[in-house]
Copies of this chain bind each other. A is one copy, B any other.
Amino acid sequence: MAGARKASKTGAANATTADLVAVLVAVTDGEPKIMTIANASALPSGPFEFAHRSLQTGLRAWVEAQTGHPLGYVEQLYTFADRGRAGDAKSPHSISISYLGLTREDKVGQGFEAHWSGWYEYFPWEDHRAGLPAALAKTLASRLRAWSKSADTASLQRERWQRVAITFGLDEREWNEELVLQRYELLYEAGLLPEAVRDGASAAVVIPGRPMSGDHRRILATGIARLRAKIKYRPVVFELMPAEFTLLQLQRTVEALAGRLVHKQNFRRLIEQQQLVEETGAIAADTVGRPAKLFRFRHGVLAERAVVGTKLPLSRT
């Protein structure tokens, strides 16, 4: 290794600061929420310090200090450097290491300026459960078309529109709920977000959706995308559920995260055939309609199976 570093002008001059940022998610009454601070304009975060034994313990310390909420399930999201965007070429590099955490919502304790905010406040265009509100759909499409048209050459214009159509599911294309980050970045590039204007884009019209400080809305987009992808192949939804739940509650949680509706009967079949849950024997109270059986997550599956599916035609011989 020593040899590997020869070309480096090493020294304290290259020190950086590393920030830990948390996207902490819960779902309550069919609405996905994220833990926010600073008047709902930022995610819980803080610098990685000496005292922290690891990145995760550092993150846990910050989240607890800022929100009073202990972290349960956590996974790393992405790491990025903040310069270029901030524009200050002389400041030391700053790195953000982001994490996704899953819990159940509970009261925010006294003395904390934290609270739970609905994530669709920040990404109204991501909620397709009831179809996109006509007004928003119209605004989006027209602004994006205008942006496409503002390219210099005809071929660039076509290129831009194709990208728009794919990421937003326009022109007969399917909506793909996982492209959260791509949509955010496209909107940023098109100058349609307050963050873009803040960072120096020519002040165009801006689109509905609450901004956040720094790169936090981008980090949130990364977290939503990861979660939407992950619920499809790992049983992580259950981190967001109470100990006992009905299949409809489970379905509503999934729909809240995915931003789309699922087919009820087929959803049940999927859950049951994978043996992810077991009946508790109890029946849900306080419901309209026929009462539903209560289920609990079969924690055994975590031990029994490692992953689900392959997409390669493996050979058995």
> Which residues on A are within 8 Å of B, measured CB to CB?
1, 3-5, 7-10, 12-18, 37-38, 41-42, 44-50, 52-55, 65-66, 76, 78-81, 83-84, 92-93, 95, 97, 113, 162, 166-167, 176, 178-179, 182, 213-214, 231-233, 254, 258, 260-264, 266-267, 269-270, 303-307, 310-315, 317
Contacts and interface: CB of A to CB of B under 8 A. Distances in A.
A14 B261 contact: no
Contacts of A182: 306
A162 B304 CA distance: 9
Contact of A50 (B14, B233, B303): B14
A97 B79 contact: yes
Contacts of A95: 18, 48, 55, 95, 97
Contacts of A45: 1, 4
Nearest to A61: B7
Contacts of A315: 260-264
A79 B79 contact: yes
Given A37-B3, A81-B55, A258 B46 contact: no
29 contacts: A3-B37, A4-B37, A4-B66, A5-B46, A10-B47, A12-B15, A13-B50, A18-B93, A48-B81, A48-B95, A52-B93, A55-B79, A55-B95, A79-B79, A95-B97, A166-B303, A176-B306, A178-B306, A182-B306, A254-B312, A260-B312, A260-B314, A261-B317, A262-B315, A263-B313, A264-B315, A269-B313, A270-B311, A270-B313
Given A53-B83, A83-B54, A267-B313, A306 B179 contact: yes
A166 B3 CA distance: 40
Question: Which of A54, A179, A182 counts the most chain B CB atoms within 10 A?
Answer: A54
A109 to B, nearest CB: 14
Given A37-B4, A260-B314, A262-B314, A80 B66 contact: no
A1 B48 contact: no
Nearest to A78: B76
Contacts of A1: 38, 41-42, 45, 213-214
B53 A311 contact: no
Contacts of A92: 15, 50
Interface centre among A42, A182, A254 (most CB of B within 10 A): A42
A54 B38 contact: no
A214 B314 CA distance: 35
B76 A232 contact: no
A18 B311 CA distance: 36
